[in-house]
Structure 1
Amino acid sequence: MKILIVAAGSHGDVLPFIALGAELRRRGHDPHLFAVAVFEELARQAGLPFTALGTAAFYETLLRHPDLNHPIRSLGIMARAMDHGGTEAWGTLTATIAPGRTLIVGSTLAFITRSLAERHGLPVVTVHLAPSVLRTTHTLPRHGGPVPGPTAPRWVKRLFWRLVDGLIVAPTLGKVINRHRRAVGLAPVRRPMATWLNQADLVIGLFPEWFAPRQPDWPATLALPGFPLYDAPPGVDLPPALQEFLAAGEPPVAFTSGTATALALDFFTTSIAACGLTGRRGVLLTRHADQVPAPLPPGLIRVDYAPFSQLLPRCAAFVHHGGIGTTSQALAAGVPQVIRPMAHDQFDNAARATALGVGLSLSTRRYRPAAVAGALRHVTTDPGVKRRCAEVAALVSAGGAISEACDSILALVGGGEPAVPAR
C-alpha cells in the first residue's frame, strides 16, 4: 500500500508518526511522511520518505509567538499553522495518490486528510495522541478554564461544547478548514472538532485505557493500543557532554518547557533558582540558547536535545509542560514529575498524571522558585510517590503500541489483523 502520513505540530506531535511510518515501511509498504520542513532530517534518519508542508522559517516564527501557549489564543496560532501552505498541500498530496492502493493517515489537526479521503474515496485513519481531543458528555477533559464536572447534567456538558465550538473553534480552526474545503469544491462542516474530526474508517488514540478510561460516547472505531514511546531514530544517544555530566554526580532534575516554544526564559530562570534552593543538579533541555541565562551556575547543563527514554531513568525528578509525549516518557521511566501546564492538552495530561499519584502540578502563576523547590522536595522524598511511579511504569508497554496501531491500519485494506485495544 501507498500510505500518505500527514502530521501537524511540534516534535512531540510528529515523532509518533515517524515511528508509524518506519514500522509500515519495515512491513513492506510504501509510507510517505508530510510535515513541516524541520522534521525532514528525523524522517530521513528513520528511512522514511519525506515531503515538506510548510517552511522551517515559518515554524520558527510560530515558536516565538507570545500566544502559542495561551490556553485560548493558541487556537488562532494553530489555525495559522494549518493555513500555511494549505492550498499547496492539497495539490501535493493529490499528485501522490495511486488509485486503488492508497491509504491516508492524519494527525488530529491534519484536517486535509479527511477532506482528501472524502473527495477521492480513500480509506482514512485519524490518530489522536492525547485523550483531551476526544469529545464526551460524560467525564470531560481538563482545559485551561473551568469545565462541567462529572456529576453535571449532560445537557450542561452539551451546552458547554456548543459554546466552545461557537465562540472559540469556529472563528479559528473552523474558519480555516471551511475556507480550504470550499476552495476544492467540498461543502463546509459545522463544528469540525466534534463529529467531523472522527469521521474516519479507523480512529486511533495513542494512549492506554488505564491512562484515559474509554468514554461511552467516544468513536465506535476507536482503538487504544498505548503510548508510542518513540523519541529518536535508532542509534541516537545522549550527547557526550551530557553523559559526562550524568556520570559526575548525583542524579539531576531535568527541566523542559517543550519543543513548541522559544519563549521560556522565565521558566528556566525560575528552574535554575529552584535548583539552588534544593541543592540539586539540573539538566536544562532546549535548543534555544537564548532561553537560558548565561553563564550557568555550577551543577547545571543545557543541551539541545536528549532522548527521554535514555535520560529520564537517570534523573531524580522531571519538571515539564505536560505534553502527552513528554508525560508518557516520564511515566515509562518511573520518574517523579512536576508539571507546569500552559495550553493545549497539557492541563488534561497533568490532571491524569497527578491523579495517578506520580507527581504534582503547578500553574504558571505558581511556578516560582520556592514553590518549585517545595514540589521537588515532596516528589523526591515521599515514599508514596516513589511507589506509584514504579507501579505505573510497570503498566507501560514499551514498543507494542506502534506495532498494534499498524496492525489495525493495515487491517483496513486486508494487510494485517486488527489489534485488540489495550485495556
Structure 2
Amino acid sequence: MPRNTVLLTWELGEGLGHIRPLKLLGYKLADAGFDLVFACRDPVLAGKELHSSLGRVIAAPFQPRPRTGLGQIRNYASLLQIQGYAEENELLPLVRAWKALIDLVDPALIIADHSPSAILAARGSVPVVQVGNGFLTPPPNSRRFPDLQWTDADVLAPAADGKILQTVNRVLSHFEGESLTTLPEMMNTAGQCVFCLPELDPYRPLRQTPVLGPLEPVPRLMLYPADLRVFAYLSSDYAAFDTVTKILSHANFDRNVFVRGLSDAHAHLLENSGLPLSQTAPPLTETLPAASLVIHHGGIATTQACLFAGRPQIILPQHNEARHTAAIMQEMGVAVSLERKDAHKLPEVFARYQSDRDWREAAMAQARTFQNREMADPMKGFLTTALAAMKEAS
C-alpha cells in the first residue's frame, strides 16, 4: 500500500511567517487526499494556528544553542555556521534526531520550510520539496552561497564554506550518504517552490526556475485615508523596541499596533502608556487598506503586501536578509529604512510622509504595476511540484 503521509517541517526562523504558509499548503495537500504531520520549531504557536483536523503537530529538532557574538549573517553559509554546522558534534545529533523523526512518521514526501537539517536527514531516502521566500531557498547550482547586500558593518567574515562542507560530508558518511562537492548542493532536492516576487529574490541572477510569487493573499489597491493612520507590525525582541513604542504611544495620529512575542504583562504596560494594541495578528488584506503608512521589520510577506496595497513603508531591519529587502524597497522609492541606532528619527519620517507627495505616489505607482502583472497560481505550481516529486520517487 503506498504511503500517504506528507511531513511539513519548520526548523529555523521565528513567528507566523513560517507556520501560516505551511498551513495554506497543508490545506491544499489535505484536499488532495494526503494525511499531514507538522514538525514545528514552536509546536505551541503551530498548535494555536493549525486546526487539529488538518493534521498532527509535533516538535521539530533544532539547534537550541546557536552561536552568539558572530555578528550578522552575510549569506546562507553564515546562517549554517551560526547553527553549528562547522562542528560535527553539534550537527550529527541534530541530523540523527531528524532521521529518527522521519523514520517514525514514514512520509512519502517532506515539505521543508527553512529546514536545512531535515533536508540533510532525508537525503537519499525521502523526496523533499523546499518552500519559502527567496533567501530561504538558495539555488544549488553555484560554487558557494552568494553574499547578501547589507548596510551594517557588523557582519560575519566570509563563512568557512570549506569547513562546513567537510563537516556536512562527515555527518553524511555516518549514514552512508553520498558526499557533496559544493555546499549549495545540499539544497539540491526534488523541488523548490519560491514564494516571493522576483524583485525580492536575492538569488535572482542564479535561479534557473521561476519563482511562484506571493503565496498568501495580497491586499487590494485603495486610496489613502484622509488622515495619517499608521499600522505597525513589530517584534518584542527588536533592539530599539522601547524607543519605537514610546514614540508611537505619544503620537497624535491613529495607530494600530501588533507585537509578536509580547507577554501579557508587557502588553498591559504598553496599553496603559497609551499604545493601542491588537491582540492577534490582523489579516494584512484587511489592515493595510485602512492604513496610510506601515512600520515593520522587513519580512517578505509584509513587504509584498505593502507593495500590492500601495502603502509607503518604514522598515526597521533586524538582520541582513531584511536589510537586503529594505535596500530594494528604497531603490523603488517606496520605503525608508532605519537602523536600530536611528529609531529615534521616526517622528522625522512621519513628518516626511505628510509632506512628501512623491513618496506616496511612488508607492501607488508600484502597486498598480504589481496589481496589473499576470502571475501564475502559486498553489497550483506547488501541488504540481509536490505530486511530481512523489511520482518520481515511487
Q: TM-score, normalised by structure 2?
A: 0.75
Provide the C-alpha distance between the structure 1 equivalents of 2:169 and 2:365, rounded to a whole number of angstroms.
46
Contact in 2 for aligned 1:105/1:113 (Cα 8 Å): no
Counterpart position of 2:51: 45
Q: How does 1:19-418 map to 2 (within 5 A)?
A: 19-36=24-41, 37-42=43-48, 44-45=50-51, 47-54=53-60, 71-72=72-73, 78-79=83-84, 86-97=95-106, 102-118=108-124, 120=125, 122-131=126-135, 134=138, 141-143=148-150, 145=152, 164-166=158-160, 181-186=172-177, 189=180, 192=183, 194-197=184-187, 199-212=188-201, 215-218=204-207, 220=208, 222-229=209-216, 252-258=229-235, 262-264=236-238, 266-273=240-247, 276=250, 279-286=252-259, 287-289=261-263, 293-294=269-270, 296-298=272-274, 300-301=276-277, 303-368=279-344, 371-394=345-368, 395=370, 400-413=377-390
CA offsets per residue over residues 83-108 of structure 1, 9 Å max, x none?
Answer: 8865333212123225xxx1222123
Provide the C-alpha distance between the structure 1 equivalents of 2:97 and 2:145, rounded to a whole number of angstroms.
39
Contact in 2 for aligned 1:359/1:379 (Cα 8 Å): no
Provide the C-alpha distance between the structure 1 equivalents of 2:352 and 2:366, rounded to a whole number of angstroms.
18
AA in 1 matched with 2:252: G
In angstroms, what is the RMSD of aligned CA positions?
4.2
Contact in 1 for aligned 2:230/2:295 (Cα 8 Å): yes
Quote how far apart the aligned CAs of 1:414 are: 5.3
Provide the C-alpha distance between the structure 1 equivalents of 2:202 and 2:94, rounded to a whole number of angstroms.
37
CA offsets per residue over residues 123-163 of structure 1, 9 Å max, x none?
Answer: 3222231347637799953235469xxxxxxxxxxxx99x6
What SS does the aligned partner of 2:189 have?
Answer: coil
CA offsets per residue over residues 257-296 of structure 1, 9 Å max, x none?
Answer: 34xxx434732433432563x5223233224145565454
Tell me the number of residue pairs that the alignment of Structure 1 and Structure 2 aligns.
363
Cα distance, 1:14–1:252 mapped onto 2, change above 3 Å? same
Identity across matched positions, percent: 15
Contact in 1 for aligned 2:148/2:202 (Cα 8 Å): no
Q: TM-score, normalised by structure 1?
A: 0.70
Provide the C-alpha distance between the structure 2 equivalents of 1:366 and 1:33, rounded to a whole number of angstroms.
40
Quote how far apart the aligned CAs of 1:208 are: 2.0
Counterpart position of 2:221: none
Quote how far apart the aligned CAs of 1:52 are: 1.8
Contact in 2 for aligned 1:263/1:291 (Cα 8 Å): no
What SS does the aligned partner of 2:198 have?
Answer: coil
Quote how far apart the aligned CAs of 1:77 are: 5.8
Structure 1 residue runs without a partner (length 5+)? 148-159, 232-246, 416-423
What SS does the aligned partner of 1:164 have?
Answer: coil
Provide the C-alpha distance between the structure 2 equivalents of 1:336 and 1:215, rounded to a whole number of angstroms.
24
Quote how far apart the aligned CAs of 1:362 are: 0.9
Quote how far apart the aligned CAs of 1:347 are: 1.1
Contact in 2 for aligned 1:132/1:348 (Cα 8 Å): no
Provide the C-alpha distance between the structure 2 equivalents of 1:217 and 1:302, rounded to a whole number of angstroms.
40
